[in-house]
Amino acid sequence: MKILKSWAPYLAIILLVVLLRTFIITPVRVDGKSMNPTLENGQILLLEKINSNYKRFDIVVINYEENGQTEKLIKRIIGLPGEHISYRNNTLYVNNKKVEEPFFHFETPDFDIATLGSYNIPEDSYFVVGDNRINSNDSRYLGFMKKDQIIGKIVFSVFPNFGFI
């Protein structure tokens, strides 16, 4: 009994860490250059899992499955359910209204989501792209991402930069 009492605090800490990582927040590592210059290859971030109220320009982590393999993608939400998204002359249009993107991104080639087979983003789906638009495998090629594919939202950078995103 004495051994159990001495190990109880350690077991409680381990249980707390497992619960936090499973349900609330977990570290993720950027793999690739599709989010340059906002995020760097190898950067360590914290992913919030409990808030699923995603907004335009949130950076999210997505489970994407292709050929039986699941890959984690880090992308920025550009389009919300029910919206029509297009890019003309490197400018974002949402429902044919110009929208300023408040972050730096590389040039975006002209694009209209109608080429994906739908005039508007389906319910419970999002249109996501990387900030490095020339070097990003995103919704322009993969299609819309369903809400249940989104693991969570990036909220903090741990390494090499430290601070909120």
Q: Do residues 79 and 126 touch, judged by C-beta distance below 8 A?
A: yes
Identify whether 146 is a catalytic site residue: no
Could you say which of 2, 6, 33, 34 is catalytic? 34
Q: Which pLDDT band holds residue 91 (cuts at 50, 70, 90)?
A: very high
25-164 architecture in CATH?
Ribbon (2.10)
Helix (H, G, I), strand (E, B) or coil at 109: coil
Identify whether 97 is a catalytic site residue: no
Domain ranges in the chain?
A: 25-164
Return d(Cα 35, Cα 45) in angstroms, integer.
13
The whole-chain average pLDDT of the chain stands at: 91
Q: Do residues 30 and 42 touch, judged by C-beta distance below 8 A?
A: yes
CA 45 to chain centre: 11
pLDDT tens for 38-89 read 999 999 999 999 888 999 999 999 999 888 888 899 999 999 999 999 999 9
User: What is the H or E stretch that residue 146 is in?
Assistant: strand 145-146
Could you say which of 49, 72, 75, 118 is catalytic? 75
Q: What is the pLDDT of residue 66?
A: 82
